[in-house]
Amino acid sequence: MSPRQLAGIAVLALVAMATGFVLAGQVKAQLLTPSNQVARYQALVVSVQELEATNSESRREIAGLRGEIDSLEADAAARSAATQDLRAKVDDLRAHAGLVAMHGPGIEVDLRNGDAGSAATGTAYLVNFEDVQDVVNLLFADGAEGVAVNGRRVTPLTAFSGSAGQVIIDQGPPLASPIKVVAVGDRNRMFAALDDPSALASIRAREVEFNLHLTFFGSPDLSLPAYDSSLQIPHVTPAN
Amino acid sequence: MSRRRIRATAVSVWLIALLVALVATIQIRSEVEVQRSLVGIDPTSLAFLIDDLHRANEALDAEKADLKSKRTQLQSGQSGAADQVLSTEADRLRAVEGLVPVHGPGVVVEVDASGLTVLDLEDALNNLSSGGAEAIDVNNNRVVMGAAISPSGSDVAINGAVITPPWTISVIGDPTRLGIVAGLMMQQLRADRRVRGASYRVESDIVIRSVISEKPFVYAVPS
């Protein structure tokens, strides 16, 4: 057999091997999604994206309306001392409800998905709403006066939900890792609470098992945005 | 080697290369499709997400309508319009922040158990909040997000007040939604070995008299 023939066979063998590897990888990864499944999936994704755009626009509109109302109230307060007193009380209530942007000393906590490659189980871990809820509750229990998660302000009515690595806070869009929790308040107390090995037991267990990343640092001045969604309580009536 | 054999070899190589290219293209296309969509979210989760976003957008529409009505009232320039808007807002925010007694329809959840922890209570409260809770009381302690829930020996304390079992969680809000959430909670609680008994009832008028004391800001400064 001539060297040329040998080279031809070698090339053929290499190409065949490469084909085999690719086919095997394809079958293993099962990424050959049937086109109709992809289409259905894409339709769902488009729905989510459209609803998110509406959501974002509505929240922008709400922030604008609150700004306009604030100006109109300020005009009215300038004309009456009684209105000015009432407005001062409402401003304080709004600040406590999270409707006013604020700043001050605090803590920033970062939560990131676990890394599948180095995890003991080889499974990636996605930060979920319960992880975020645990961090926020710990911060409030230990000196936070205001908290925001990825720029979404937490209010007295805030609820966390979500699935598959998505974190939904109130009427906001789904958030995903990396999650940044910013808390303004007693910085030293919050830092000590986060540093306590007995606190956040489930998150610490996931740090070990799934390489979930939890880091935090204090800062002399952090900012929190105002809440930009609904605080309606249609079923509640003040009791006498 | 004959010319025919050489041609046959070339055709074979060409076909294999084509196959490789084809598979690689499909592979890349599939990956891009998945990446373009929300990575890692299965269709069921997407459906839940759509449901959540619909509900959220409806709530935002209601808030916009309310704010537009307030703006119209303020723009009217009528005597006392601003005071009326501000008084109504103050009443609403006091109820939101748990500063005043309130009443309304909702559910009452009762859990008799031993060994329940801070996380159990926080999870229960968050489930009810996700289900539309507008005011919550646990054993005569008003609870809002931001309340300090901490361990106290083998029990749990809310803002320093120890609550001992059984827990009675009174929740005001949409009774239908809250009823569904409470029903799901019962399934979980009854499967929990620590729980001796768990029940809930829907009520047309629940009165919550407990209130939270106002706490002034020490560190935070409104911008």
pLDDT tens string A111-133: 999 876 555 555 678 999 999 99
Q: How many Cβ atoms from other residues are within 10 Å of residue A211's Cβ?
A: 19
Contact at 8 Å (CB) between A126 and A155? no
Mutant choice from B18, B46, B69, B188 vs A, greatest count of A C-beta within 10 A: B46
Among the partner-chain residues A65, A173, A237, the one whose CB lies closest to the CB of B102 is: A237
**Which residues face A215 on adjacent strands?**
A110
Q: Which residues in A72-83 are b (16+ Cβ under 10 Å) and which e?
A: bbeebbeeeeeb
- Asked if A86's CB is within 8 angstroms of B56's CB, the reply is no
pLDDT at residue A88 is higher than 60: yes
User: Between B76 and A37, where is the model more confident?
Assistant: B76
Residues 203-222 of A with CB under 8 A from B: none
pLDDT band at A194 (very low <50, low <70, confident <90, very high): very high
Banded pLDDT at A22 (limits 50, 70, 90): confident
Cβ contacts of B134 on chain A, cutoff 8 Å: 157, 233-236
Per-residue pLDDT averaged across A100-107, rounded?
98
pLDDT value of position A81: 93
| CB–CB contacts below 8 A, A to B | 307
CB-based contact, A26 to chain B, within 8 Å: yes
What is the rounded distance in angstroms from the CA atom of residue A236 to the CA atom of residue B27?
Answer: 55
Half-sphere exposure (CA, 13 Å, Cβ side) for B13? 14
A97 shares contact with chain B (CB less than 8 Å): yes
Query: Once rounded to an integer, what is the mean pLDDT over residues A77-82?
Result: 92
Q: Which residues of B194-223 are buried (b: 16+ CB within 10 A; e: fewer)?
A: ebeebebeebeebebebbbeeeebebbebe
pLDDT of residue B37: 41
Chain-chain contact of B61 with A40 (C-beta, under 8 angstroms): no
d(C-alpha B143, C-alpha B103), whole Å: 15
Asked if A199 has any chain B CB less than 8 Å from its own CB, the reply is: no
Dump the DSSP string for B68-101: HHHHHHHHT--TTHHHHHHHHHHHHHHHHTT-S-
Is residue A84 within 8 angstroms of chain B, CB to CB?
Answer: no
Interchain proximity A239–B147, CB inside 8 Å? no
Residues in CB range of A221: below 8 A, 6 or more apart: A103, A104, A105
Q: For chain A, what is the mean pLDDT?
A: 89
Do the Cβ atoms of B167 and B121 come closer than 8 Å?
Answer: yes
Which residue among A40, A62, A86 places its CB closest to the CB of B86?
A86
Q: Which two tokens stand for residue B189?
A: 């609680």
Tell the burial category of B141 from Cβ atoms under 10 Å away from its Cβ (0-12, 13-18, 19+).
buried
pLDDT digits (tens, 9 = 90+) for A141-191: 999 999 999 999 999 999 999 887 889 999 999 999 999 999 999 999 999
B188 dihedral zone (left: phi>0; alpha: psi -120 to 50; beta): alpha
Q: Taking the CA of residue B163 as centre, how many other CA atoms within 13 Å lie in the half-sphere pointing to its CB?
A: 25
Instruction: Tell the residue number behind the tokens 């740090």, with chain if given.
Output: A207
Query: What number is the ipTM of this complex?
Result: 0.81
Distances (CA, A) of A67 to A70, A99, A101, A102, A156: 5, 11, 12, 15, 21
A50: left (phi over 0), alpha (psi -120 to 50) or beta: alpha
Average of per-residue pLDDT values in chain B: 89
How far apart are alpha carbons B149 and A139 in whole angstroms? Answer: 11
Measured in degrees and rounded to the nearest 5, phi and psi for residue B102 equal -140, 165
Nearest to A54 among B57, B70, B144 (CB): B57
Confirm if A231 and A97 have CB atoms less than 8 A apart.
yes
Coil, strand or helix: which one is A183? Answer: strand
**Is the per-residue pLDDT at A30 higher than 60?**
no
From first to last of its 223 residues, what are the pLDDT tens digits of chain B? 567 777 777 777 778 777 776 766 666 655 544 444 455 678 888 888 899 999 999 999 999 999 999 999 999 988 789 999 999 999 999 999 999 999 999 999 999 999 999 999 999 999 999 999 999 999 999 999 999 999 999 899 999 999 999 999 999 999 999 999 999 999 999 999 999 999 999 999 999 999 999 889 999 999 8
Residue A70 forms contact with B (CB below 8 Å): no
